[in-house]
Amino acid sequence: MTPEFAFLAAVLISLQLQLHFADAFGSASTVAVAYGTATVCGITAGKQGQRIQCYRGHEVISVLPHVSFEAISGGQRFFCGLRTGGFSLHCWETDAGFQPKRVYHSTAFPLTDLAVGDAHVCAREVISGRARCWRGTERDGSLFPSPDAALQFQTVTSGSGFSCGILKKNRTILCWGSNGIGSKIQSQFGNLSMVSLVAGESHVCGLTASSGVIICKGNSNAGQLEVPIKSAHEYTDLALGASFTCAIRQKNGAVSCWGGGAEELNIQNNINFNDSFELITAGSDMLCGLKTSNLIIMCWSKANKNSPVVLPLGMIIPGPCVQDPCSSCGIYPNSAFLCDGSGNICKSCQRELPIAVPLPKKPESQSIPGSSSPTRARNRLTLAFLIVGAVGVLAGACTILFCISNCLALCSSSNTADNLELKTIPQALMENYSGRSFSLMELAAATSNFSSENKIGGGSFGVVYKGELSDGTEVAIKRGENNEKTEDPQEKQDAFTSELATLLRLNHKHLVGMSLSIKAVSTQSL
Paired with 155 in beta bridges are: 166
- Nearest Cα to 331, choosing from 349, 320, 316, 347? 347
The residues near 150 (Cβ < 8 Å, ≥ 6 apart) are none
Q: How many CB atoms lie within 10 A of CB 278?
A: 25
- If phi over 0 gives left and psi between -120 and 50 gives alpha, with beta otherwise, what is residue 259? left
DSSP string, 444-481: HHHTTTT-GGGEEEE-SS-EEEEEE-TTS-EEEEEEEE
Query: Number of C-alpha atoms within 13 angstroms, CB side, residue 309?
Result: 24
Tell me how far apart the alpha carbons of residues 261 and 265 are, in angstroms, rounded to a whole number.
6
Query: Which amino acid is present at 244?
Result: F
Q: Any binding-site annotation on 478?
A: yes
The residues near 207 (Cβ < 8 Å, ≥ 6 apart) are 194, 195, 196, 213, 214, 215, 235, 236
Paired with 100 in beta bridges are: 92
Cα torsion angle, 444, 445, 449, 451, sign: negative
Q: Are 8 and 519 in contact (CB under 8 A)?
A: yes
Tell me how far apart the alpha carbons of residues 257 and 5 are, in angstroms, rounded to a whole number.
46
Query: Which amino acid is present at 405?
Result: S
Tell me the binding residues for ATP.
478
User: Residue ranges for the binding site?
Assistant: 478
